[in-house]
Amino acid sequence: TSGELKTAYNLSKKGSRSCYVVMTKEKARDGYMRRPAVTYNRRKRAFICPDCGERIMMDVFSGGIKCQTEADQFFFRRENKKNRKCENCGSLLWTVLETERQSQWVKIANTGFVYRTMAWQHLDSIARKVMMKSARSNKAPVFPKEYYDVKALVDNPDMVVRPAGARPECSLSMYVSKKMRGKIDGLIIDELQDYNNNSGQGDAMNDLLGCAKRAVGLTGTLINGYSQGIFYLLYRVSPRLMQTDGKKYTATTNFNREYGVTETAYEVSDQGYHSNRRTAKRKLREKQLPGVSPLVYSRFLMNNAVFLSLNDMGKQLPEYEEIPVELQLPEEVWKEYTHIEDKFTDVMKYQKLIAQRVMSAFMSLLTVYPDQPYDMEPVLDPISEMPLVQPLDRWDADSLNAKDVWLLEKVKEKIARHERVVIYTSWVRIDTQERLEKLFREHGISACVLRSTVPTAKREEWIEKQVKNGVHVLITNPQLLETGLDLNDFTTLIYYNISYKLFTLRQSSRRSWRINQKAPRIEVYFLYFKGVMQHRAIRLMASKLAVAGVIEGNLTDEGLAAMSECQDLTTLLAQELTLGLKNETDGLDIGDVFKNMAFLKPEGEAAPEVIEGEAELVESEAIEVTVEELLAEK
């Protein structure tokens, strides 16, 4: 808290010793909670701005056409860019949530803000979704906890509600910037890439940076592959250089055009029969593609950055190899998968009004269905809300697929060699973690699941405790272990399914490949089914991994060839599936690509011993290329 920070500073001034304060990025950013400041006007039948009194409007789609209508209370469930300011006067539409005073807006967990006198609308919405899900699955309806919380508010609109986590004080970064400017001798910022967006955490880091006399930033991934991914970071670290270069903080487009890759689409109408008129040219869209100019390094980083890779200390590292494992789908699952894929192709080709809006849902279904061909939700038409495709159940939770069989054999083999295994499951909305934990226990293998409910600061201690208790298999989401942890007790890492975010993949896959690792070899396996979306995705990921190696100076033929393609992963997968496009990854042997990127000792050379207790110097991978999340909502 601000009081503790003030006490630590006063103690440092009284004594002769240095004072160190460790602060998480969440603590630095988080201050008082905000609630909507808008109120409902019965005469205007709309929510109005608290300053100018004008109606608040929101965008809706009707028949595939975007139009505006009066905003409803669902528009203000959570604060975002669309509902933050009034379009008429520019005033903020959110204000401080006072913990001692009740307002018309109530914060309900997993629901967001609810307007007291209209809480019945939320109740009807939740009930409708539950009943639709029950009808599709032929199971009894199960109402979530938030349904009963909202129902209590409907029954008693004047009830007192105190939201969990609400704080009455400002953020620590704001306190430091106002009270301690110039009093901080040094600032160390770990995981610098977390502050490269126009976000609250980035602004908090900027506040602290402006108060320190000296600052050092540490990162394993300086850039996500897009020029915009470093724009805000450069402005916070070197604002004078950015201004000298003529780049304004409010004009990221100019920076992207000079230092990035921008794709601009035009529509040209050739007036061939009207020689007296010029050719008409109309700009349709402009989007940012992966790619960053080397001038960013020479102009902004050369005098301020030092790059060091773990490969620079290769003689002290064990062998490291990533191995893809191709498996076959059962015939009945394959037939249903191809049916879903054919429907997706038809929608993308012939239903242009909804194609982009349902692409994410189809891609998610095609990705996870081979792993869980049962209990899948249908893909709905966003206009009619009727199912475009209803996946059929071709398996059940108690049956073993090819991944399960392979995984069970590999885990038994590793345990027989006195090794421990980490299993990464990226798609937490399906039952993979629970099913695998049950499978291992039935075969007498000690396994545990690390969930997000374990606080970040306690995860290393939690894992050490599990190891002491004799656990051989750790099941978790790779995002929970992508930074800040060493898994030296686990020498085999298996991706049951992978996240298509390159940063997460590279960080989590090297949790065991550390300088203080005593094991002679680290193996990482990627499981995928042949011929389905997983196959296409991992092939493209292999190509992008090779590109990342090129940026770090590891030149391979695959990486150089792959640099010719600059599109995000979701677009590549959708285009390949719907249009049958050929690219440089066709005919690519995935195993060869991963083999070329492995870190292996020459034959006959033993892995060197590592001095016990030797500190890890740097956790840097130089410049990283990050692709878009495949499952992100458009």
Q: For the chain, which ranges sit under pLDDT 50? A: 273, 548, 550-568, 571, 578-586, 604, 606-634
Instruction: Tell if the pTM clears 0.85, that is, is over it.
Output: no
Find out whether 317 and 388 touch, Cβ atoms under 8 Å.
Answer: no
Q: Which two tokens mark 66?
A: 């975007």
CB 114 within 8 A of CB 73: yes
Closest C-alpha to 263, from 633, 562, 565, 626:
565
Q: Please check whether residue 185 is in contact with residue 14, taking contact to mean a CB–CB distance below 8 angstroms.
A: no
Helix (H, G, I), strand (E, B), or coil: what is residue 422? Answer: strand
Give the N- to C-terminal CA distance of the chain in Å, as an integer: 38
Indicate the SS3 state at residue 59: strand
Q: State residue 558's pLDDT score.
A: 39
Q: Distance between CA atoms of 190 and 193, rounded to whole angstroms?
A: 9
The Cα 342–Cα 307 span in angstroms is 47
Q: Please count the residues of the chain.
A: 634
What pLDDT does 609 receive? 42
Residues of 126-137 as b/e, b for ≥16 C-beta within 10 angstroms?
beeeeeeeeeee
| 625 closest CA partner among 558, 556, 561, 542 | 542
Specify the pLDDT at position 306.
Answer: 81
C-alpha span between 155 and 319 (Å, rounded): 64
Q: What is the helix (H) or strand (E) element at residue 217, kind and residue range?
A: strand 212-217
> What Cα–Cα distance (Å) separates residue 460 from each residue in 35, 108, 132, 464, 564?
35, 32, 42, 6, 41
> Using the 8-state DSSP alphabet, how is residue 297 labeled?
I
Q: Identify residue 218 by its one-letter amino acid code.
A: L
Token reading at 245? 């270069």
Backbone φ, ψ for residue 422 (5° rounding): -105, 130
For residue 82, what is the enclosing H or E element?
A: none
pLDDT computed for residue 47 by the predictor: 94
Q: How far apart are CA 470 and CA 529, in angstroms?
A: 32
Q: Which of 418, 416, 364, 372 minimizes the C-alpha distance to 389?
A: 364
- E-assigned strands of 73-117? 94-96, 105-108, 112-115
- How confident is the model over 176-226, as pLDDT tens digits? 887 778 778 888 988 887 787 777 788 888 888 888 888 898 877 676 666
Cβ(499)–Cβ(426) under 8 Å? yes
What are the tokens at 32? Answer: 């008082």
Query: 3-state SS string over 335-349?
Result: HHHHHHHHHHHHHHH
CB 472 within 8 Å of CB 420: yes
Q: What is the pLDDT of residue 626?
A: 32
Angstrom distance (rounded) from CA 431 to CA 496? 12
SS3 content of the chain, % helix, strand, coil (to 5): 40, 20, 45
Question: From residue 386, how far is each of 131, 326, 337, 348 by CA, in Å?
Answer: 15, 36, 20, 17
Rounded distance between C-alpha atoms, residue 206 and residue 204, angstroms:
5
Cβ neighbour number for residue 503 with a 10 Å cutoff = 22
Cα separation, 84 vs 76, in Å, equals: 9
CA 342 – CA 444 distance, rounded (Å): 42
Among candidate residues 524, 534, 326, 532, the one with its CA nearest the CA of residue 422: 524
Give the residue among 436, 367, 428 at the shortest CA–CA distance from 401. Answer: 436
* CA–CA distances in Å: residue 5 to residues 10, 16, 176, 183: 9, 18, 9, 12
